[in-house]
Structure 1
Amino acid sequence: MPELTPPETLRRLELAVTRRLDGLLHGQHLGLLPGAGSELAGSREYRPGEDEVRRIDWAVTARTAVPHVREVDADRELTCWVLVDGTASMDFGTAEVEKRELAVAAVAAVGFLTAGTGSALGAHLLGADGVRRFPTGSGRDHLLCVLRALLTAPRTAAATSHRAGRAAAAQQPRPTFADGIDGLRRAATRRGLAVVVSDFLDGLPDDPAGRPDWERALRRLATVHQVLAVDVTDPRELELPDVGVITVQDPESGRRREISTADRGLRDRYAEAAAAQRDQIARAIRRAGAAHLELRTDRDWVADIVRHVHRQRQLTTRAPARGVAAWEGTT
């Protein structure tokens, strides 16, 4: 991808999604989060062994003293909103692609899979200067326009020093990741699919047991929309190789530090801290009620998406059986 021009990159992404993902993920209305639908179409009596307990309409059940379940119409017109993290921490990659390029690939997968008659997609790009908004639109041309804008978006200038980073933040506070999620929630007025693509490193507390600043905003988003959190990582963020003395820099603050990677203890502590950080992020996403899709710059992102969808479908098919058994056990 780095050696390709934007039109060639878009063509490569479209082929990867339509030939590989579309061929592996079958269904009348393709999507990353399969389900029956969200439009309420009335209620009917509960049929043991066929209906899910979580679909029980408790208001009707209380009035009639007979268990009823909600009926929903399948979504034929899907509104999808995407928030892409374009901050300095995404301009990093030591494998085949950078994290920002992998984020564009994730948006391409969502866009091409959810594209259909009446479906619409809108996008927000979070950067150091604020949020760039792309209004909702439908069709292949609109999606390609959004992807081209994401590919050609200017990189966030990293702070040259820790003092310079603090001074820039004091002069013009940049929007936080939580602000970006809240902005997406306010813009997405119609219930649909909300996709948040980021490395989720912004707003993490020092205490591994603490909760990130963006967790509450993500939970509020998940109360209205079906949320997919695409977590983008690089292998060097998880472990350090033994390459001697290196200089590392925080792209957000500009802080630099020299470390000796020959120290086995330091590499082990780094790996443990990184694993704890990823676990902290995963737990926060689960608590917020969002689906978690992990993509890495050193892996096949198409295969990761396929595995995620198949896992979601298995959970969807297993949940009804457990729910019916629990309900029948109480009757």
Structure 2
Amino acid sequence: MTDERPPHKPGPGPVPPAVLRSLDLAVMKRIESLIPGEHLTPQTGQGTELAMIRPYHPGDDVRHLDWNATARLQEPYVRVHVGERALTSWLVLDVSASMQFGTADRRKADVAEGVALAIGHVATRRGNRLGVMGVGAGDTRIIRPRQGRYGLLGLLAELRRDGGAPDGATLGQALKGAAAIGRQRGLVVIVSDFRGDRDWAAPLQELRARHGVLCVEIVDPREQELVPAGDLWLVDPETGRQVHVDTRRRKIRQRFAAAAAAERDEVRTAIRRAGADHLVLSTAGDWLRVLAGHLRRSEAALKAGNPGRTAAVNRAAGR
């Protein structure tokens, strides 16, 4: 994230090591809350999360004897743990033409790149696997989940692609593909500006039924309101459609702001209805601190709402 960039591609911006370490901890806690434990399966097995204590049966591993329960109940008892597995994460990255827009500190694509690198940094630790789907620039590109550095290399290769093709697959089609290939319960992070057709609403609900889902919405201030800059030609980067606007007219600016706010409200409602977590990041300001703060708050809320081990095991077992 420290590569030198040309002026028209400033990148996600400097990332202080202290903030990255804070983000590392926050993301790991968030992953552990979405897939309880480190990370739990529905079956019992080797792990650190206690499932139950039961009487000893011939053939049980004596190393699993619970000596406190044995002494208290005067018969052998063994500890049964919930099995752990590596977490498989999927990053659905929007690389469409609209992501190249930016009027503040950087482009939306630059913020998306920073989020992808931050998530990828922690999603490939401890043997966990990361898969990448790039959508919006030609055919959807799929990089199968890989462990460790290999997953990050696949992510970097996707980020270096030249986006902007207007005939790419839609986000809804990409989410259908993610649901089809992401059979194993895991974490799905969707990084997009959620512009255009909302064909992603139904696939998002289906995806959320099996996986933990975090929707990271990237916005730019000029997408929400117009400034009185005189006559402007506005171009839709996805379709090439052009519109002439006289931004000196107050009514036009007010109508634009109202329509933009209504559109974002519809996006928020669709994501909330699906039950996915939602975070909005702007091209202005320190996006990384906002990301880390959101994840820490989400983790605190989850702990307050579900502090018991039993509930964690039940969620892991799908009950």
Same fold by TM (over 0.5)? yes
1:187 alignment partner AA: I
Q: CA deviation at 1:127?
A: 2.6
Structure 1 pair 157–39 and aligned structure 2 pair: CA distance change class (3 A): closer
Q: 1:197 aligns with which of 191, 195, 205?
A: 191
Q: CA deviation at 1:96?
A: 1.7
1:89 aligns with 2:107: no
1:280 aligns with 2:289: no
| Structure 2 residue matching 1:94: 3-state secondary structure | coil
Identity over the aligned pairs, expressed in percent?
Answer: 34
Q: How does 1:165-244 map to 2 (within 5 A)?
A: 174-203=168-197, 212-244=198-230
For each residue in 1:22-48, what CA deviation from the matched residue of structure 2 results, as whole angstroms up to 9, or x when unmatched?
A: 236547x81544413342356669xxx
Structure 1 pair 4–265 and aligned structure 2 pair: CA distance change class (3 A): same
Contact 2:172 2:203 in 1 (8 A): yes
> Which structure 2 segments of 5+ residues have no match?
45-50, 54-79, 308-319
Q: Provide TM-score, normalisation by structure 2.
A: 0.75
1:149 aligns with 2:157: yes
For each residue in 1:309-330, what CA deviation from the matched residue of structure 2 results, as whole angstroms up to 9, or x when unmatched?
A: 1220221122137xxxxxxxxx
| Structure 2 residue matching 1:16: 3-state secondary structure | coil
Contact 2:234 2:242 in 1 (8 A): yes
Instruction: Quote the Cα distance in structure 2 between the aligned partners of 1:102 and 1:95.
Output: 11
Instruction: Quote the Cα distance in structure 1 between the aligned partners of 2:23 and 2:165.
Output: 39
1:263 aligns with 2:257: no
| Structure 1 residue matching 2:228: 3-state secondary structure | coil
Q: How does 1:1-331 map to 2 (within 5 A)?
A: 4-5=4-5, 16=15, 19-23=18-22, 26=25, 30-35=28-33, 36-37=36-37, 38-40=40-42, 73=82, 77-143=86-152, 145-157=153-165, 174-203=168-197, 212-320=198-306
Q: Which residue of 1 aligns with 2:311?
A: none
Aligned length: 271
| Structure 1 residue matching 2:285: 3-state secondary structure | coil
2:28 alignment partner AA: L
Structure 1 pair 243–75 and aligned structure 2 pair: CA distance change class (3 A): farther
Once superposed, what is the RMSD of the aligned Cα atoms?
A: 3.2
Structure 1 pair 16–32 and aligned structure 2 pair: CA distance change class (3 A): farther
Contact 1:22 1:113 in 2 (8 A): no
Runs of 4+ in 1 over 6 A off after TM superposition: none
For each residue in 1:130-149, what CA deviation from the matched residue of structure 2 results, as whole angstroms up to 9, or x when unmatched?
A: 10111211223540x23432
Q: CA deviation at 1:301?
A: 1.2
Q: Provide TM-score, normalisation by structure 1.
A: 0.73
Contact 1:17 1:112 in 2 (8 A): no
Structure 1 pair 2–39 and aligned structure 2 pair: CA distance change class (3 A): closer
Contact 1:177 1:202 in 2 (8 A): no
> Which structure 1 segments of 5+ residues have no match?
46-70, 159-172, 204-211, 322-331
Structure 1 pair 280–34 and aligned structure 2 pair: CA distance change class (3 A): farther
Q: CA deviation at 1:78?
A: 1.4
